[in-house]
Amino acid sequence: MKGYVTGVGNKPFSITSELLGRKPVYFAEEIEENYLKGKVILVTGGGGTIGSEVCRQVAKSKPKQLIILDNYENTTYELQQELSSMMKGLDLKVEIASVQDTASIDHIFNKYHPQMVFHAAAHKHVPLMEDCPAEAIKNNIFGTYNVVMAARTYKTEKFVLISTDKAVNPTNIMGASKRFCEMILQSMKFCKETRFAAVRFGNVLGSNGSVIPLFQTQIARGGPVTVTDKKVTRYFMTVEEAASLVLKAGEMASSSEIYILDMGCPISILKLAEDLIKLNGYIPYSDIEIVETGLRPGEKLYEEILTNRDELIATVNHKIFIEKQEEIGLPCILNSMKLLKESIESDSAEVIRETLKNIVPTFKDPETING
């Protein structure tokens, strides 16, 4: 068995150029120079993969103040040290708190009065949220509602929710919870004080808990590399693309839009595994086996980025589109959240799932999508 290498001939390879299958799309140069400059900016989930990259890109724009909010101290501390050493003169604040804690969120907004909020805090792991649905509801839905209401109360100028393609015709608790978060923003459409927007994109290459680090670990151990199903495809983007799209959406936000990036064609997970094995200097199925383990609960064979392609609106940027949404009133959202609270108190995963199905009309069983 060969020793583990970082690329063919021991040369490091680029995840972006070798695996993405398309030219990356970055919006940094297109963003208006003064859009973030001199602003007080809050990033929730700032210690995570996407949140931390948003923080890095915001820091380069010379904000008046950058506040990183996260409930996990280790990665947040590492980001704090990185930004403090690289960005001299940056007014950087860190708040360790949960978005589920209404009092803490109110205190933070009252303390800083952020003008821009990028909301990245969320539970995102599909199988774990299938096992712990109450936590997905409490963190993703109630957490988002808390931050949205604080933004409205303290007259934040713009609020951007980081959503996911798994919110489209969701087949799992995580995706359905994120779809409801989009619905919360839809109910804010006529809010005059704050302009809201959501950004929906696919899997982020190399992010924590994603398939690339898993494959790399499996390759380093000599295999096998595991794929859930050889027919699975996913949309992918780089973390830099994701963060720049989030910032661009913030600039464009006006009335609770859902922004979607043209991510090209979906990528075969099997081909991704084969390519990664080759890029590490091995031969698939000879040096390293690839085995099929079966779809996990709530997983789709194919992800979607749109509910209905006919409802797509072009923007001034040919790579960014807006999906039309039906109007939703805040009373409807509040009633749905009351039902969700009752379902959590029932301590029944099945009751939570059925309640979420009733309030998210597009929530489907995986069998109806996978066939």
Return the bridge partners of 237, or none: 204
Q: Is 226 helix (H, G, I), strand (E, B) or coil?
A: strand
Spatial CA neighbour of 30 closest among 196, 236, 245, 261: 245
How much is the pLDDT for 174? Answer: 96
How much is the pLDDT for 331? Answer: 96
Give the Cα separation of 29 and 26 in Å (integer). Answer: 8
Helical segments of 33-113, H only: 49-59, 73-86, 102-112
Give the Cα separation of 323 and 183 in Å (integer). Answer: 13
* Residues annotated as part of the active site: 166
How much is the pLDDT for 202? Answer: 78
How much is the pLDDT for 29? Answer: 64
Mean pLDDT by 10 residues, the chain (371 residues): 36 56 71 85 96 94 96 96 93 98 98 97 94 97 98 97 92 96 95 92 75 90 94 86 86 86 82 91 95 90 66 73 86 97 96 96 80 58
How much is the pLDDT for 18? Answer: 66
- Distance of alpha carbon 106 from its chain centroid, rounded? 23
Q: Is 125 helix (H, G, I), strand (E, B) or coil?
A: coil
How much is the pLDDT for 69? Answer: 98
How much is the pLDDT for 239? Answer: 84
- Distance of alpha carbon 39 from its chain centroid, rounded? 23
Beta strand 203-204 with 195-201 is unpaired
How much is the pLDDT for 213? Answer: 86
How much is the pLDDT for 252? Answer: 86
- Alpha-carbon separation of residue 116 from 26, 64, 108, 109, 194 (angstroms): 21, 11, 13, 11, 9
DSSP 24: -
